[in-house]
Amino acid sequence: MKKIAVIVAGGAGSRMGATIPKQFLLLQNKPILWHTINAFTQTFTDIEIIIVLPEMHIEEGKSIADTFKTSHKITCIQGGLTRFDSVKNGLTQITEDCIVFVHDGVRCLLSSDLINNCYHQAKAKGSAIPAVAATDSIRLVEGNTSHIADRNKVRLVQTPQTFKSNILLEAFKQPYQDSFTDEANVVEAFGKEVHLIEGDYNNIKITRPLDLIIAEKILEERK
């Protein structure tokens, strides 16, 4: 089945204390976004990539895309104000049935195993949302108090959130709600159950300076 990855790279990077948005920071001399794209193109020779970027960084995205072989179609398009708007803009490029991976641009350590697993599970079940169990105790806050949550029932959600295109495109026709912080929530609000699969603890989001150091170590260990 055709495969398309929508990579959301819209962040402004303020938490990194850097003026460059974090998707362009260098990791082993290549931009974080390069590593993210590379994970998908290394997994599937026939995958198409749509990168959603802030307007002022589209040219930068294009020059990263140009370093990949022309066998992979890579398009850079402009994002919106919210993640929902950005993904929706990305989805406008999809015109045929496929499996869509929606992925955070700054989760550059995702493995081919995880991408493959997402693909097969989404193809079989309509969706595949990678998630990992919490290693800490969890509490749920209600007003000024909190109560215990069963740690075994809590999952920390990652990306690529992967769907059959028909489900995802229909779900994204809904009007925006504040709860639409990820694609699983959009699809769930549309009345479709989402299917969780086992994520990967190394599939971290680069949000703090320390995460870049962790990412360097994970890449070194893979060699």
Q: Is 146 helix (H, G, I), strand (E, B) or coil?
A: strand
**Which residue lies nearer to its own copies by CB, 73 or 155?**
155
Least distance to its own copies from the beta carbon of 26, Å?
17
Q: Which positions touch its own copies (CB under 8 A)?
A: 129, 131, 134-142, 145-158, 179, 181-182, 184-185, 188, 193-194, 196, 201-202, 205, 207-208, 210, 213-214, 217-218, 221
163: enclosing H helix or E strand? strand 161-164
Q: Which long-range CB contacts under 8 A does 93-98 form with residues at least 24 apart? A: 93/4, 93/50, 94/4, 94/50, 94/165, 94/169, 96/2, 96/165, 97/1, 97/2, 97/164, 97/165, 97/166, 98/1, 98/2, 98/3, 98/4, 98/165
Least distance to its own copies from the beta carbon of 20, Å?
20
**Which residue lies nearer to its own copies by CB, 71 or 145?**
145
Token pair recorded at residue 10: 């819209």
Is the Cβ–Cβ distance between 94 and 169 less than 8 Å?
A: yes
**Which residue lies nearer to its own copies by CB, 95 or 152?**
152
Least distance to its own copies from the beta carbon of 210, Å?
6
**Which residue lies nearer to its own copies by CB, 56 or 210?**
210
Least distance to its own copies from the beta carbon of 46, Å?
29
**Which residue lies nearer to its own copies by CB, 66 or 136?**
136
Is the Cβ–Cβ distance between 54 and 78 less than 8 Å?
A: yes
Least distance to its own copies from the beta carbon of 128, Å?
12
